[in-house]
Each structure stands twice: as structure tokens, then as C-alpha cells.
Chains A and B, each alone.
Chain A
Amino acid sequence: MTATDGTLLTPADLAGNGVHGNDPDVHGKFGVFGGRYVPEALIPALDEVAAEYEKARNDTGFLREFDHLLRTYAGRPTTLTEVPRFAEQAGGARIILKREDLTHTGAHKINNVLGQALLTKRLGKTRVIAETGAGQHGVATATAAALMGLECVIYMGAVDCERQALNVARMKLLGATVVPVTNGSQTLKDAINEAFRDWVANVDRTHYLFGTIAGPHPFPEIVRDFARIIGVEARRQMLELTGGLPDAVAAAVGGGSNAIGIFHAFIDDKDVQLHGYEAGGRGLETGEHALTLTEGSIGVLHGSRTYVLQDEEGQTIESHSISAGLDYPGVGPEHAWLKDTGRASYHGITDAEAMDAFSLLARTEGIIPAIESSHALAGALKLGREIGPEATILVNLSGRGDKDMGTAMKYFNL
């Protein structure tokens, strides 16, 4: 997995070409999941993106440019941090964090946007659009657009704009136009609908810089490959730090990009357990949650066959989470596939459990995590108690908590 020419990335690091055997088929299917359920008008654009990506990922020049940006702009490689004081609550297990919170813009999302912004330029397009939930992907996209001189429009649910006002201001400062979406539940899923509507009307000059591993093929594959560096680095760093692989890898799952980013390099390591933690919201019994994989059913949402929160007639059920980034009633098709093949397992973490872990990490280790990532931290605490004191657990600390201070002030009466 290590590069031979001193760079971070090799074509193998971006997976693909059957290198890992976990690629989707020609129609973008992971088993029965994935595919393309979109208006025919968008098929040529998706084909164009897929073809250009296929060229890019085998192009040393592209990889070198991406690698350079990851090192000199995003701040890679990110470090591992062992958190023994936090882990005292985990039954004596070792907990090691992959510090994506230390990247530029404060979350793992920067990896994907830099890759896709480079792809946008290769496509000869001058405008990017994106959806955002917590605002992290919006900020990351606006950042990459500013860096590369691309026009940028971000669709964000009106409810989320209010929850994450600071990120709205950041996007505007970076030169993006932020469009509050007022239809439907006014959250991430409606922002995605609106972004698709923009794309179909402006596809000539616009790339839809999709933010997670959901959506129609090839987005699940492209976003995964650009996020994959998280696990590639972490696997190598774990071997250096502990002399072995972790017993388990834990990550939060909304759409699923940070989780697939850290899982993917470990998929062939059959002894490494993969655990994804979804937002349990106010609890399963309240119906106010985002437990797509654990409680949803198979359907089609946003162009992809996957697990969906839906009623018996296929209408999407609105999700709930204290964390805007996990507040999504769908999930990437590759997670659906990992669940059904049994390679990964998925669990719910309630708002309260996540906020406890949020506060615990701050107090014991001096790290304020994103509330999204706090779901993985809470999961790791449980997992440690289950596996026992011999366990080593790698957690993807996917983002930092600065953006969540408003929520924290309210929740903890600070």
C-alpha cells in the first residue's frame, strides 16, 4: 500500500481496476445495491463523469496533483492519537483516533472535494454545485472552489442553515452562494433534490460535487476512492504504532463517506471488525432517528438502491438527529452491501449517548469532536466493553466540533 515514489498516493490507493475486488459492476451495482435511478437527461453527464474519472485515476499526473494538494493544502497525512483517559470508560480497551478533525476546514470532507474539484477542471466545467447537511461538505466545496477558481452554489436545507449559521457565513466568506431550501423537511435530503434540479438544468457547465457515497453511479465509487486515503494511512500508521492491525474500526454513518473512507482499506483484513454507528436520535421508540441501515428497508432514494427510511408505500420518512451531518434517511449503497454480506455491522447511538461521548472526549483528552464523530466515539466505548481489555479500536474522528458549539451550549447549558 505504500507508494514507491515518495508520494502519498498510488493508483492502488484509489482502489479500482479490480485491485480490491470491491468495486461496483458496470452498472454501478454493489450486489443488488446502487445503480442509477435518475432522469434520462442526466445519464450522459454521469457517463461523462465516470469516463473522466476512469482516466484520471490511472493518470499519474492527476494522482500527483491530488497527492500534492492533500499534503500541502489539506494537511495530510493526519496523525493518530491514542486516548487512554477517554478509554478508561471503554473497559480497558485501547482507543486510537484517526485525526481527520485536524485537516484543513476541520473534517474529512476536504479529501473528496479536492479530488472532485480536480475532476471538475478535467471535465472542462466552470461551476460546481453541492448539497450540504451540517455545512461541512458545503464549506469544503466552497473552499476547493475558491482554491481552483470555480463558481460555487451550495444547497442547504433552511432548517440546517439555522442550526449551522456559522458554516453558512464561512461559505459566503469563501465566495459561494448559499441557497436555503425551504421545501419538504428542509434538511439534507431536500437539499439533494434541489441540487439535482439545478444540475439537470445547468449540466453543460456544471459538475455536481456530490458529498457522500450515496447517489447514482459513479458517485458512490468516486467519493469512496477520494475518501479512501483515511484508511490507507490509518492502516499503515496502526502497523507502525501498535505493530498490528486494530481489532475493530469504528466510524459514524450518515451518508457514509467517512466510514467507507476508513473501512475500505481494511475490508480484506478479515480479522478486523468494521462497525458503523448511525444516529439513533431521540431513540428508536420515538420514531425520531436516522437508523437507515439498522431499521430501514430496501428502496430507492436519490438515484440509488439502498436502505431507506420509508413507509409501506415508499414515501421517505423524515430522519432526526442532533447532528445535522447524520440526519439523512438514506445511506451509501456500499454500506448496504457490506451490511448484507455481513462484512460490516451497524448500530444506533442516541443523541444523548453521542453528547456524553462528545463531552467526555473534551474533558479527558482536550479534543472537541464533531457531534457526528461523537457517535463513533460512543460506539467505541460500548465496543471496548464488549470485546474486552485486550481490544484495540481505531476510531475515525471525522471532524472537529467548532461548528457544534451552538448545539453544545444549548444541550449542556454552557
Chain B
Amino acid sequence: MTTLQTVFARAKADDRAALIGYLPAGFPTKDGAIAAAAAMVDAGCDVIEIGLPYSDPLMDGPTIQDAVHRSLTNGTRIADVLRTVEGVAKTGAATLVMTYWNPIDRYGADRFARDLADAGGVGTITPDLTPEEAEPWREASAGAGIDTVFLVAPSSPESRIKAVVGCCTGFVYAASLMGVTGARESVGEAAQGLVERTRLQTDMPVCVGLGVGTGRQAAEVARYADGVIVGSAFIRRLLDAPDEASGLAAVRELGAELAAGVRR
């Protein structure tokens, strides 16, 4: 099992940023998600975030909403998410689950943390869990030996950044802009400033997500962040592909472009 610590140490030794790819479990199909994530790792992703599909993804834009909807229509359950994590972790990538809080709350925090660790997962990203409500999840995760990643945003004042990084282990997720997930023409101007403000509060790696979708953008973000997070752009390739084989090829191509970007 590859830990986040290993990933960031290795990237630092190579003098580059880590590349983090996101894909919901069960999309385009249950097995197709494992194949696509493996292709992302093949092409150069160091970390994979497996999304746990949720009925009310209020932080997600149309691309991820569409993928999640298809995944739920495919009948994806938490057992499938864990099986996906297991499959992806075997590729050697550090594998996280990204999920809204309610599915974990309902499943049971201790049980979810334990089952995720057993599947080879190294942690979670929980975009709607704030420091005030995070205690049960931090305890459960510490007990199971997995990392907890939370988000800071351009709107976060120093006091909030301090509170959030105090809850993070592994890395801090810096949302590049005020908005939902989805590839955009340019990465938010606020991203670099946010990374700098976050670094004043922590020595942990800081990774930037939201709106990154091209090699050029990845290179730009890699200049100031420890990791570059890409989700919707991968999903878009799969949604637009006429069949599974060409989808995987498109994902590989994008992965290679981004991997070159973080190395520029």
C-alpha cells in the first residue's frame, strides 16, 4: 500500500507536483471505473480519489453530477465503492475516497473507516464536513490509520484555514475558486494566494483542485502547489467516448498530458 506521505516525498525528490485524479465508483460501469482509474495511474496519476456517488452532490458541477447519476443508476453501493478502492490500490496508487458526509454517517463512521482501510484505502476527502462537525470522523479515521483531508477555499480567512489544516492529515485540499467542480478555461487567480496563505499555517502538502483540466493548467498550478487535482476533465473524456476502449485511450492521453504538466 502506497501512503500519501510516500507519494509526496517521491514527488518532492523528483522536484515536481503530485498528480491526483478523481473518478466516481460505478462510472462508466462498476468494472469500467476500475479500468479507467488503472489507466489514469498508468498514465502518471500518483493518487486516485474514488468518488462515492451520492444523490445530492451540492458541490458538484454538471459533469460530475452526470457521472454520479449514471453510477447510481448502475446500482452502485458502498460495497462497490470499497471494491473499486481495492482494485485501484493494487495498481500502486495511493487511493482515497471522496464523499459527502451523509453516506459515512449512515454507514457508521468506525465501520466505514475500518472497511476502507481493509480495502487498501489511505484516507478520505470530505467536502461538506467542516472542522466543527469533523470530530467523530477524525477519531474513527485515526483509529483505522487513515488520513483525513479537508478543504480550504478562497473565501477562508486565516482563522478558518487554521481550523481546517488542524483537522487535515496527508494533505490540505485548496479549492482554486469559489464554485462547483468542473473544468474551466483558466484556474482561479485566487488559487496561488490561497496556497500561500495555507502554507503560513502548515508544513503539510497543499494540493489544488477545481477547474484544472489541461497540461498547461497543471504546469501552472504545479509551480506553487504540491499536488494538482483533476476530476471533471477525466470524466468528460469518458462521457464523450463512443465506446469503452476509446474512453480508456482518451483518459490515458489526458493523464499523460497532465503528468507531463506537473513535471514541467
CA distance A160 to B9 in the complex (A): 53
CA distance A314 to B160 in the complex (A): 28
CA distance A106 to B151 in the complex (A): 43
Known: A35-B132, A39-B128, A41-B154. 9 other contacts (CB 8 A): A37-B133, A39-B59, A40-B153, A43-B155, A200-B178, A310-B102, A312-B106, A314-B103, A316-B56
- Chain B proximity mask over A292-316: 1 for CB below 8 Å, otherwise 0: 0000010111110000101011111
Stretch of A92-100, A189-197, A236-244, A331-339 contacting B (4+ beta carbons < 8 Å): A189-197
B113 to chain A, nearest CB (A): 15
Q: Which residues from chain B contact A27 at a C-beta distance below 8 Å?
A: 132-133
Are B55 and A316 in contact, CB atoms less than 8 angstroms apart? yes
Are A315 and B55 in contact, CB atoms less than 8 angstroms apart? yes
Closest residue of chain B to A189 (Cβ to Cβ) is B56
Which residues of B, 133-183, contact A by the 8 Å Cβ criterion? 133, 150-157, 160, 164, 175, 178-180
Partner of A35, one of B72, B78, B103, B133: B133
Q: Which B residues lie at the A interface, using CB under 8 A? A: 54-59, 61, 65, 69, 72, 77-78, 101-107, 127-130, 132-133, 150-157, 160, 164, 175, 178-180
Are B127 and A44 in contact, CB atoms less than 8 angstroms apart? no
Give the total of A residues in contact with B, Cβ under 8 Å: 37
Partner of B178, one of A41, A184, A301, A302: A41
Are B102 and A43 in contact, CB atoms less than 8 angstroms apart? no
Q: Which residues from chain B contact A314 at a C-beta distance below 8 Å?
A: 54, 102-107
B160 to chain A, nearest CB (A): 6
Are B106 and A203 in contact, CB atoms less than 8 angstroms apart? no
Q: Which A residues lie at the B interface, using CB under 8 A? A: 27, 35-45, 183-184, 189-190, 192-193, 196-197, 200-201, 203-204, 297, 299-303, 308, 310, 312-316
Q: Which residues from chain B contact A313 at a C-beta distance below 8 Å?
A: 77-78, 103, 106-107
Partner of B57, one of A193, A204, A302: A193
Q: Which residues from chain B contact A200 at a C-beta distance below 8 Å?
A: 59, 178-180
Are A36 and B105 in contact, CB atoms less than 8 angstroms apart? no
Q: Which residues from chain A contact B58 at a C-beta distance below 8 Å?
A: 38-39, 192-193, 196-197, 302
B15 to chain A, nearest CB (A): 30
9 contacts between A and B (CB under 8 A): A37-B129, A41-B156, A41-B175, A197-B180, A301-B102, A302-B58, A315-B72, A316-B55, A316-B56
